[in-house]
Amino acid sequence: MSLLAVGTLAYDSIETVAAKRADLLGGSVTYFSLAAALFAKVAVVGVVGKDFKKQDLELLRAKGIDTAGVEVQDGETFRWSGRYEADWNTRHTLATHLNVFEHFDPKVPAAQRSARFVFLANAAPEIQAKALAQVSAPIFVMADTMNLWIDIAKPALLDLLRRVDALILNDEEARMLTGERNLLRAAAKALDLGPKHIVLKKGEHGAFLIGRGAHFALPAYPVEEVVDPTGAGDSFAGGFMGYLASVGTVDAPAMRRSMLHGTAAASMCVEGFGVEQLAKCTRQDVDARCAELRSIVTV
Amino acid sequence: MSLLAVGTLAYDSIETVAAKRADLLGGSVTYFSLAAALFAKVAVVGVVGKDFKKQDLELLRAKGIDTAGVEVQDGETFRWSGRYEADWNTRHTLATHLNVFEHFDPKVPAAQRSARFVFLANAAPEIQAKALAQVSAPIFVMADTMNLWIDIAKPALLDLLRRVDALILNDEEARMLTGERNLLRAAAKALDLGPKHIVLKKGEHGAFLIGRGAHFALPAYPVEEVVDPTGAGDSFAGGFMGYLASVGTVDAPAMRRSMLHGTAAASMCVEGFGVEQLAKCTRQDVDARCAELRSIVTV
């Protein structure tokens, strides 16, 4: 079934302990759509500046990603730069330049308004809501967010959460949103805000899927060498939503398998700088990791 | 099959953010044997002072634990006091008084020398080796250790590791033992030291079982409220070894199920101060948690 993702396309500059790379293709819907496209037809809505490289748009199109919803505006593309500590858990944002994304006004093309699966990548909740309002009858909507919006736009975020099926968060965001230290209680409180499913991302420690009376836990895929964790969360979301859209159902077994596919996609992502590894991998690669991960967790 | 555990019986004074308790029954083989006794016949070897309460020895005996190997010496019982931070991950040792444990000379009673499963709880590796040398034909020996021994007694520890089947470690100890930051590579290096299995404890993030070309990962049981994490690692080891001894085999499926039973036992332990919750729980309680945990991880 059709899958739509709304969010950023960006250029990132990334420093790790081992290396430093500038102006890499990045952004939430870039990672998301490259992962989702392994499983389903995906369309993206976003905005880029005149500096956005033709070859980067072509990279997405070559994967079958529909980029008709990517608006080109006067100005520069969103830019982010950050540095990771040796343990990967500490990320320092060095600079964020919203550029053309500052006044992003999402316009979902007519052909995409019937999308059944929707991913609202991290953005101001008002922008996420504006995009969602243009989709006529979605079956399953997942939203991402970040500390900034919990801090400065909580009423709008709470309003959005009443209209989504799933919220994807990391542990810190879950605690901040709910004021609850214990992650399981934080997830339970987040369910009270509207979503039927909470996806808790714990990085190298895996992910939880929590619903009312339902709990699924999955460790991360054992990656031998992390090169760059940028985009892991959006790749997870892409594998998750892409798989769900491919099976067209959101029952409990499908949701658990979507966690497996999200985890496998995220593990591919972190093995290269930016999108380099994710853009190279095939459905067969991800399926092999899913099978391996399944065997790793089978009691 | 018969199971033998060698280590400490102690009195602990514990501070958490919520409460403070003094002189609680503790010690590695206390936690271990209470967990293991849920599944198998277990005998303990240790030393206590004249101050060790009769009722505490009786508590163990009432669970069917053989305490013939617990020597009573002039002097005081091992005492430990510590404080946990709100996140449970930071533990400050406030005081350690080895007392009679300082000159612990393990004597395995004749009746226990034929034990087939052996747990060498954290102690100086020379003491662990001395105990192991008294067991005639064990099938499966698991050793625990700590940073102190990796630091001050590494040659003796390396010598011991060549003679055990499994080593149980937390992430920090694995990194310190091998000098390798990446946990999977650390486990692979630890395998090179002799043991066929490495059990990596990651606290709230679960545990790994790693062998040559074999990898099993299990999240922690989702405990609603942690009261006191003291003894969680030894309770894990107790559930793990107790289950293994009960089935009498160490093939891959049995090892995976032993991880499940260790995880369930540890989750019981952390729900009460000291051994209070662990001492109350039944085989049925643990079996119910194993079934629940299995459903939580099933894809």
Among B261, B222, B225, B223, residue whose Cα is nearest residue B241: B261
Beta bridge partners of A289: none
Query: CA–CA separation, B164 vs B197, rounded Å?
Result: 9
Closest chain A C-alpha to B254 CA, distance in angstroms: 9
Q: Give pLDDT, residue B12.
A: 98
Separation between Cα atoms, residue B112 and residue B109, nearest integer Å: 5
Q: How confident is the model at residue A89 (pLDDT cuts 50, 70, 90)?
A: confident
Q: Are B79 and B10 in contact (CB under 8 A)?
A: yes
Q: What is the pLDDT of residue A23?
A: 97
ipTM score for this prediction? 0.89
Q: What is the pLDDT of residue A213?
A: 84
> pLDDT at residue B25 above 90?
yes
Residue A88: pLDDT band with limits 50, 70, 90: confident
Q: Is the pLDDT of residue A87 over 90?
A: no
Query: What pLDDT is attached to residue A182?
Result: 87
Q: Residue A1's pLDDT band (boundaries 50, 70, 90)?
A: confident
Q: What percent of chain B has pLDDT over 70?
A: 100
Per DSSP, what are the bridge partners of residue A168?
Answer: A144, A199
Amino acid code (one letter) for B56: D
- Which pLDDT belongs to residue A90? 87
DSSP secondary structure letter of residue A219: P
Q: What is the pLDDT of residues A205-247, one digit of tens each?
A: 999 999 998 899 999 999 989 999 999 999 999 999 999 999 9
Mean pLDDT to the nearest integer, B63-72: 98
User: What residues have CB less than 8 Å from B161, skipping those under 6 apart?
Assistant: B143, B167, B193, B194, B195
Sheet arrangement for strand A66-73: A66-73, A42-49, A3-6, A117-120, A140-144, A166-170, A197-201, A207-211, A214-218
Q: Which pLDDT band holds residue B89 (cuts at 50, 70, 90)?
A: confident
Residues B226-249 pLDDT 10s = 999 999 999 999 999 999 999 999
Alpha carbon of A205: minimum distance to chain B alpha carbons (Å): 6
Report residue B72 as tokens: 């009573």
The pLDDT mean for chain A works out to 96
SS3 A263: helix
Chain-wide mean pLDDT for chain B? 96
Question: Are residues A256 and B225, on separate chains, in Cβ contact within 8 Å?
Answer: no
**For B214, nearest residue in chain A (alpha carbons):** A296
pLDDT at A299: 94
Query: What is the pLDDT at residue A219?
Result: 96
For the residues B258-286, what does the mean pLDDT come to?
A: 97
- Closest-approach residue (CA) in chain B for A297: B217
- Read off φ and ψ for residue A197, nearest 5 degrees: -135, 135
Residue with tokens 């085989």: B283
Three-class DSSP category at B147: helix
Answer whether A88 touches B (CB < 8 Å).
no
Residue contact A182–B225, C-beta within 8 A: yes
Q: pLDDT tens, B135-193?
A: 999 999 999 999 999 999 999 999 999 999 999 999 999 999 999 988 889 999 999 99
Quick: pLDDT tens for A135-173.
999 999 999 999 999 999 999 999 999 999 999 999 999
Compute φ and ψ for B257, nearest 5 degrees: -70, -30
pLDDT at B187: 95
Contact (CB, 8 A) for B223 and B253: no
Give the β-pairing of B78-84 and B10-15. Answer: parallel
Q: How far apart are CA B19 and CA B22, in angstroms?
A: 10
Specify the pLDDT at position A224: 87
Q: Decide if A203 touches B, using CB distance below 8 A.
A: no
Position A166 scores a pLDDT of 98
> Is residue A213 a contact partner of residue B211, using CB atoms and an 8 Å limit?
no
Residue A45 has pLDDT above 90, yes or no: yes
The shortest CB-CB distance from A219 to any of B86, B217, B256 is to: B217
pLDDT at residue number B239: 98
Chain B CB contacts of A225 under 8 Å are 182
